Amino acid sequence: MVAVTTSFKDVKPQGRLTVQTIEIGAQTTAIRCLDWDRDRFDIEFGLRNGTTYNSFLIQGEKTALIDTSHRKFQQLYWQKLTKLIDLSALDYLIISHTEPDHSGLVKELLQLAPQVTVVAAKVAIQFLDDMVHHPFPSLIVKNGDRLDLGNGHELEFVSAPNLHWPDTIFTYDRKTRILFTCDAFGMHYCDDRVFDEEPDLIAADFKYYYDCLMAANARSVLSAIKRIEKLDIAAIATGHGPLLQHYLSDWVNRYQQWSQAQAKAETLVALFYCQGYGWSDQLAHAIARGIHRSGVAVELVNLSSAELYEVKEVVNLARGLVIGMPPQSNDNARAALSTILAAAHHKQAIGLFETGGGEDEPIYPLRNKFQEIGLCEAFPPLLIKEPPTLQTEQICDEAGTDIGQLLTRERTIKEIKALDNDLERALGRLSNGLYIITAQKAGVKSAMLASWVMQASMSPLGVAIAVAKDRAIESLLQLGDRFVLNVLGEDNYQSLMKHFLKRFPPGADRFAGIKTYCASNGCPILADALAYMECQVTSRMECSDHWIVYGSVQTGRVAKLHALTAVHHRKVGNHY
C-alpha cells in the first residue's frame, strides 16, 4: 500500500460545527464537515463520538465534487468550497448515494452551478429528479463505467447497491488510487485526525456502524468487496469519520469476515421495504437492528427495484419474512408481493409493518393471506402513521428481536439441553442477588430482571451487569447511557419478578401498574425496591451472547436499613 500525501491547508476553528479541508492526494481535497455533538443518527442509532460528513474535490483538467454535506453545514461548506474552486468552473457532481446527510446541499449547488453534470446510478438520478424538481444535466453510470477528468484522473465507478442505500456507487481514481465509498467502511467518529492512524480508538465505532448499517446487507457487502478486490487501492475515502489508509486491508478484512459470518448464518430473515416511500427504510433498519441483535441474519430487499428472481431466491432461503407495506401504485412492488406470497410456506414466520406513506397496500388482507398459507405471526402488524420517533423505532427494534427469538428458540433449547450434566450442576452453584435494571433514553423506558450483577470496582464505584444481546433494554445501555440498578428485598421480590418476567409485546409499557418515581438521572426507581443505585454506562465488553455493561455509580439509597437482598439460588447453570 502506498501512503497518500497529506498536507493541512486549514485548521479547525473553535466551535462544535467545523470544516476542515485537506489535500489527500494529487489535486484531491477532502472537505470534512465535523459535527462534534451529533448524538443521534437514524433516530435510534445513538452516537458516542459525533460524526463527520466528508466530501471530496478532484481537480484534473475537469473538476468533480464527490458528494456534498448535511444541510446544517450550508454556510460553512459553501465558504470552504468557494475558496477551493470557482463554482462556475465545476464540471461534475458525483452522488455516491442520495441520503440527505451527503446530498443535503445538492439542490442548492445546482442553483449556484447549473452547468454541473450530476453523475450517479440510475435510481439516484430518479430520486434526485423528485428532490430537485427542475431539469439538470445528468450522466447515469453503471458498474465499470469510466469518466476521464484529465491529468491522469480517470474515474471508474463500482456499483455497490445496498451499502447502505440501493443507489450506492463507489468511485475509484486511477491516478491517486483512492476509492471513495461514502457510507461503506465509514464510522461515526468526529476527530481532527483525518486518517486511521489510531485503530484502537476507532475500532469499536467501526464495528458499531457496521452492525447498525451494513450487517443487514451482508451479501451485498461481500459482492462489493469482490468488485473492489481487483483495484489497487491506496486509501478508502469514506463519507463519515476518518479515511482509511494505514490499516486498509485490516478494515476491509473485518467487513469481509463479519459479512461472511452473516451470510453463513443458518437463520435468515428477509426484510422487504420500499426505499424512499414513507418511513419505510428508517423503520426497516430499526427492525433489522433488532433481528441482528438476536443473532439472526437479515437481508434487506427494496421492493421498488428488486428483480423478481431475487425476491423468490431470498424468500426460499429465509426462515422469516418481514414486509413494509409498499404504495398501492408501485407495480414492481405489487409484483414482488405476489412473488413473496407464491414462494412463502407454512414453516416461515411473518411480520408486517405499515410505512406511513399514506397510500400503503392494506395490511390486514395481506396478513390474512399469509395466515391462510399457515405462516406463524412473529409480532402483530405495526401500524405506523406518524413520522417515526425514538419510541416508534424502539417498537420496531423490539419487533425485530421478537421474530429473531422466535426463529432461534428451538436452537437455544437444544444448546441448553446439550450441556454436560456435571458442568451444568457446577455452574448452578453460582448464585447472585435479584435486581431490576431500569433505563430511560429520550422518553423511551425499559426494564429487565437481572441476577448476573456484581460490584466491579471500588474507586470510582462501579457495577457490572451481563445483558443478553437480544434484551429489549440493550439499546438503552450504550456508552454514556444512564440506568438504575434496583435491588430487590428478600421479603418483597416475587410480585416484581413475576411482573418483569412477563412477555411484553413490542413497545409495551413495562411499568404499567408498578409504582415508580424518577431518579435524578431520569430513569425509573421502583418504589418497592430495597435499595437503588443511579449509574452511567462507561464501558461495554462483548462476551459472546451477552454484553458486560459496566456502569459507574453516581448515587444511591437504601429504603430499609436492616432488610436483606433477595438471593437467587440456581440448581443448574444452563439458564439464569
Ligand X SMILES: Cc1cc2nc3c(=O)[nH]c(=O)nc-3n(C[C@H](O)[C@H](O)[C@H](O)COP(=O)(O)O)c2cc1C
Cell of 228: 473492489
Task: Report in angstroms the alpha-carbon separations of 64 from 6, 104, 423.
Answer: 20, 17, 64
Instruction: Output 459 or 544, the one with its CB closest to ligand X.
Output: 544
Q: Name the residue among 445, 210, 406, 401 with its Cα closest to residue 290.
A: 401
Calpha distance 565→505 (Å, rounded): 30
Q: Are 301 and 271 in contact (CB under 8 A)?
A: yes
Phi and psi angles of residue 567, each rounded to the nearest 5 degrees, phi first: -115, 140
Q: Tell me which of 31, 179, 466, 531 binds ligand X, using CB under 6 A.
A: 466
Q: Tell me which of 90, 269, 390, 448 binds ligand X, using CB under 6 A.
A: 448
Closest distance to ligand X from the beta carbon of 96 (Å): 37
Instruction: Output 168 or 405, the one with its CB closest to ligand X.
Output: 405
445 binds ligand X (CB under 6 A): no
Q: Tell me which of 449, 523, 529, 535 binds ligand X, using CB under 6 A.
A: 449
DSSP per-residue letters across 24-56 = EETTEEEEEEEETT--EETTTEE-SS-EEEEEE
Asked whether the bond before 362 is cis by omega within 30 degrees of 0, the reply is no
Q: Tell me which of 450, 463, 525, 531 binds ligand X, using CB under 6 A.
A: 450
User: For the window 398-437, what string marks contact with ligand X as x by the rule CB under 6 A?
Assistant: ----------------------------------------
Instruction: Output 121 or 473, the one with its CB closest to ligand X.
Output: 473
454 binds ligand X (CB under 6 A): no
Place of cell 434487506: 300
Q: Burial, 21: exposed, middle or buried (Cβ in 10 Å; 0-12, 13-18, 19+)?
A: middle
Instruction: Output 244 or 473, the one with its CB closest to ligand X.
Output: 473
Q: Tell me which of 80, 102, 292, 568 binds ligand X, using CB under 6 A.
A: 568
Calpha distance 319→315 (Å, rounded): 8
Question: How many chain residues touch ligand X (CB under 6 A)?
Answer: 16
Strand locations in 67-196 (E): 92-94, 117-120, 138-140, 146-148, 154-159, 169-173, 178-182
Closest distance to ligand X from the beta carbon of 504 (Å): 6
566 binds ligand X (CB under 6 A): no
Stretch that binds ligand X, among 273-281, 329-337, 497-505, 517-525 (CB under 6 A): 497-505
Instruction: Output 361 or 397, the one with its CB closest to ligand X.
Output: 397
Closest distance to ligand X from the beta carbon of 507 (Å): 11
284 binds ligand X (CB under 6 A): no
Residues in the chain: 576
Instruction: Output 111 or 494, the one with its CB closest to ligand X.
Output: 494
User: For the window 34-53, what string marks contact with ligand X as x by the rule CB under 6 A?
Assistant: --------------------
Task: Report in angstroms the alpha-carbon separations of 389 from 39, 209, 377, 385.
Answer: 15, 20, 25, 11
Calpha distance 210→218 (Å, rounded): 10
Calpha distance 49→189 (Å, rounded): 5
Pair type for strands 63-66 and 92-94: parallel
Distance of CA 484 to the CA centre of its chain: 26
Stretch that binds ligand X, among 20-28, 200-208, 367-375, 444-452 (CB under 6 A): 444-452
Q: Tell me which of 212, 467, 477, 525 binds ligand X, using CB under 6 A.
A: 467
Instruction: Output 104 or 489, the one with its CB closest to ligand X.
Output: 489
Stretch that binds ligand X, among 266-274, 336-344, 388-396, 469-477 (CB under 6 A): 469-477
Calpha distance 529→565 (Å, rounded): 10
Closest distance to ligand X from the beta carbon of 425 (Å): 17
Instruction: Output 101 or 397, the one with its CB closest to ligand X.
Output: 397
User: What 3-state DSSP class applies to 196?
Assistant: coil
325 binds ligand X (CB under 6 A): no
Closest distance to ligand X from the beta carbon of 464 (Å): 10
Instruction: Output 62 or 546, the one with its CB closest to ligand X.
Output: 546
Cell of 9: 491547508
Residue type, 227: R
Chain residues 111-150 in contact with ligand X, contact rule CB under 6 A? none
Cell of 43: 433516530
452 binds ligand X (CB under 6 A): yes
Closest distance to ligand X from the beta carbon of 575 (Å): 7
Q: Tell me which of 36, 41, 511, 576 binds ligand X, using CB under 6 A.
A: 576
> For 237-264, b where at least 16 C-beta lie within 10 A, e where not — what string?
bbbbbbbbbbbbeebbebbbebbeebee
Instruction: Output 332 or 412, the one with its CB closest to ligand X.
Output: 412
Closest distance to ligand X from the beta carbon of 313 (Å): 32
Phi and psi angles of residue 535, each rounded to the nearest 5 degrees, phi first: -130, 165
Task: Report in angstroms the alpha-carbon separations of 492 from 329, 437, 483.
Answer: 57, 16, 22
Stretch that binds ligand X, among 54-62, 226-234, 263-271, 448-456 (CB under 6 A): 448-456
Place of cell 397510500: 359
Stretch that binds ligand X, among 111-119, 165-173, 302-310, 443-451 (CB under 6 A): 443-451
511 binds ligand X (CB under 6 A): no
Distance of CA 567 to the CA centre of its chain: 38
Q: Tell me which of 185, 279, 500, 532 binds ligand X, using CB under 6 A.
A: 500
214 binds ligand X (CB under 6 A): no
Binding site for ligand X (CB under 6 A): 448-452, 466-468, 471-473, 500-501, 504, 568, 576
